[in-house]
Structure formats: C-alpha cells, structure tokens
Structure 1
Amino acid sequence: MDIEKLKFPIGKFEKPTALTKDILNRWISDISTFPKRLLNEVINLTDEQLDTPYRPDGWTIRQVIHHCADSHMNSLTRLKLALTEDQPTIKPYFEERWAELIDTKSMPIQPSLKMIEGIHERWTVLLNNLTDEQYGRIFIHPEHGKTYRVEENIGVYAWHCNHHLAHITETKKRNNWN
C-alpha cells in the first residue's frame, strides 16, 4: 500500500476558502463526538493489537491514542491562551519524543481515554459558546512561523481527530479485526 495513504488516510488538512457557520458546526461536532467514536473502535482491542503500528515505522495504535490525549490537551490550552491573552506565542512540543516516553509506549489506554473524554467535554463547551470575535482571535505558532486563528485551529483539530481515528480503523480493516 502507498505510504502516503497510510500516513494520511483521509488526506491532509485543507482549509476551506470561506469558513461558514455550517463548517464550524461540523468541525465542532467532530471534536465533540471524537471520544465516543474512538472508544468504540479501541475498547475491545487486545494488547497485541494495540501494539501494532498503523504503518511501517509508524506509531502503534497505543501510541496514537496516548498522542491524541497529549495533543488535544495542548490544543485546549492553546485555545484558552488565545481567548485570554493578546496574540500569545504558544509553546510547541516534540510530539515524536513524547510518543517515545514510557507512558505513551506501554501504559494501558484507559487513562488517556478518560483524559480525552474530559478534555473534549470542556473543549466542546468553549467551542459551542465562542463569539464571532473569539473565532477570529489568534495565537502564534513559532515552530510553523505563522499565526493561527481560533476558527482555523478548530478545523485542524477536527481533522486531527478524524485523521488518527482513520489510522485505527484502517489498521483494523487491513488486519481483519472486528
């Protein structure tokens, strides 16, 4: 199978030319429903299945789940910084290094599933109550050398949820796991 398709089973994030309320609502729904959708896909996986990489030289499903908890925790913090500070510069982190830490490589997934559930519950409350002005607030990402509007970052993380969920669902399909 094509390595790019394995890396990006739903494609790369593409920002729409115009962001409508319908698009934002769909993105918020994707973020809101992610914990349940993820749980449904991973709850019955064995340790052997969880320790299966989703692609050659890629993370295991276990690492993907823990990565989602780490990444979404950071995204919620970035949102709160953007909402409470004037154009804050966020702190990037080395996700590939975090993925190699012992908690990510070998811990059971339940703590991260709980984190994701709580993070997404709080995140969704904020997202569902943003004003038009708050959608336009920005933060600066020094690693990427650009500014992100809150509304764009909602799309990035809706994509992120679906992207990593597809890593799991596609791995299950390829391996004929129920």
Structure 2
Amino acid sequence: MENSSLEKLRYPIGQFTTPTIYTEDYLSEKIFEIESFPAKLKEETLHLTTDQLDTPYRKDGWTIRQVIHHCADSHMNCYIRIKWALTEDNPVIKSYFEELWSDFNDNLTMPIAATIALLEGLHFRLAYIMKNLSEIDLEKTFTHPEHNKIVSIKEQIGTYAWHGNHHLAHITELKKKRNWS
C-alpha cells in the first residue's frame, strides 16, 4: 500500500496539531467534543455485529472492538494525568504500553456495552472537571516520560478531543468502506 494511503488509514482526520494559542472558544469546543464522544461512539457501534466489531479498521490495525476498549484505557489515563497535574507540581506520569494492553483478553473479546458505559461516566467527569478549570489550572503540567515532554492540561484537552475523534473516524471510515449502515 502506498505511504499516503496508509497514512490516511492511520490518521483519517490527520495528526494532532498543537495550537499556538488556546482561546476560550477553542477549549470550550474541545471540551464539548470530549463530553459528546461516548454518545457518538455508542451511536456508531452498538448495532454492529460480532464479526463487524472484530474487523480491523486497516491491515495490521486494531479491530473496532480493540479501538473502543483502547479509548477507555487511554482516556482513563488522561483523567488520572489531569488529576496528578492538578494536585502535584509537574509530576512525572506513568506511561503504559497501549499495544500490549490492546492484546489482553478484555480488549480482544469483551462485549463493548460495559466499556461504552464506562466512557459515558468517565467523559462526564472529564468534562465536568475541564469546564471548571481556572486559567492557572489550565497551565498546570505533567511530564510524559515516554516522550520526555512537558504537557499542560490545556494541551491535554486538545489532544484527547482529537484522540476521540481520531478513533471515531477509524470506525466511521471502515463502516463507509464496507457499506455498513
């Protein structure tokens, strides 16, 4: 497969771009995207068959089931990282091996309904916290050891809005390609 085609399959909405300025409107929009992600995910996936859920979104990619469970794994880490940043001075967070996590039995075979419910509660909490952050809170940071990068809470908001949309697009693009309603 051509490199640009693979890139489009891997990043159907493009890669995350860090804004130069985090406006109030930008952050409000991203928090809304985070808040509404579980409902969109539920709408796109709850009617899918087992075979459809076990279809990879690209060659050598995760199945739809793995993508859904990965979102819960990743977004739980987001929640914890924000809490650490709010309560500690630039903590070094714990990274995790998402590829290995995605190969656990729960991510490979578990029904998606419980994970959708988990995401509904988690995203409610994420949005609630995010909507109530002060300007000082938005500037608080953590250090990501895998990338040796300092990440602000405001950047985390943009990143996780993108992350949800990114994986939702994996699902919607596969559904279009396969003509699944």
Q: Do both proteins adopt the same fold according to a TM-score greater than 0.5, normalized to the shorter chain? A: yes
1:177 partnered with 2:172: no
1:128 partnered with 2:131: yes
- The aligned residue for residue 146 of structure 1 is 149
- Aligned equivalent of 1:74, options 70, 77, 85: 77
Aligned positions, number = 178
- Aligned equivalent of 1:106, options 105, 109, 133: 109
RMSD: 0.7
- Aligned equivalent of 1:9, options 1, 8, 12: 12
Counterpart amino acid of 1:53?
P
> How do 1:82-93 residues align onto structure 2 when only pairs under 5 Å count?
82-93=85-96
Name the CA distance, whole Å, in 1 between partners of 2:99 and 2:86.
28
> How do 1:32-43 residues align onto structure 2 when only pairs under 5 Å count?
32-43=35-46
Instruction: Give the SS at the match of 2:25.
Output: helix
Name the CA distance, whole Å, in 2 between partners of 1:170 and 1:75.
25
1:44 partnered with 2:44: no
Cα-to-partner distance string for 1:49-103 (whole Å, 9 max, x where unaligned): 0000000000000000000010000100000000011111100000000000000
Name the CA distance, whole Å, in 1 between partners of 2:31 and 2:150.
21
- The aligned residue for residue 60 of structure 2 is 57
**Unaligned 5+ runs, structure 1:** none
Cα-to-partner distance string for 1:98-138 (whole Å, 9 max, x where unaligned): 00000000110111111101110111110000000000000
When normalised by structure 1's length, the TM-score is 0.99
When normalised by structure 2's length, the TM-score is 0.97
1:118 partnered with 2:118: no
Counterpart amino acid of 2:125?
R
Instruction: Give the SS at the match of 2:108.
Output: helix
**Unaligned 5+ runs, structure 2:** none
Shift of 1:11: 0.1
Which stretches of structure 1, 4 residues or more, deviate above 6 A after TM superposition?
none
Shift of 1:43: 1.0
Identity %: 54
Name the CA distance, whole Å, in 2 between partners of 1:148 and 1:124.
18
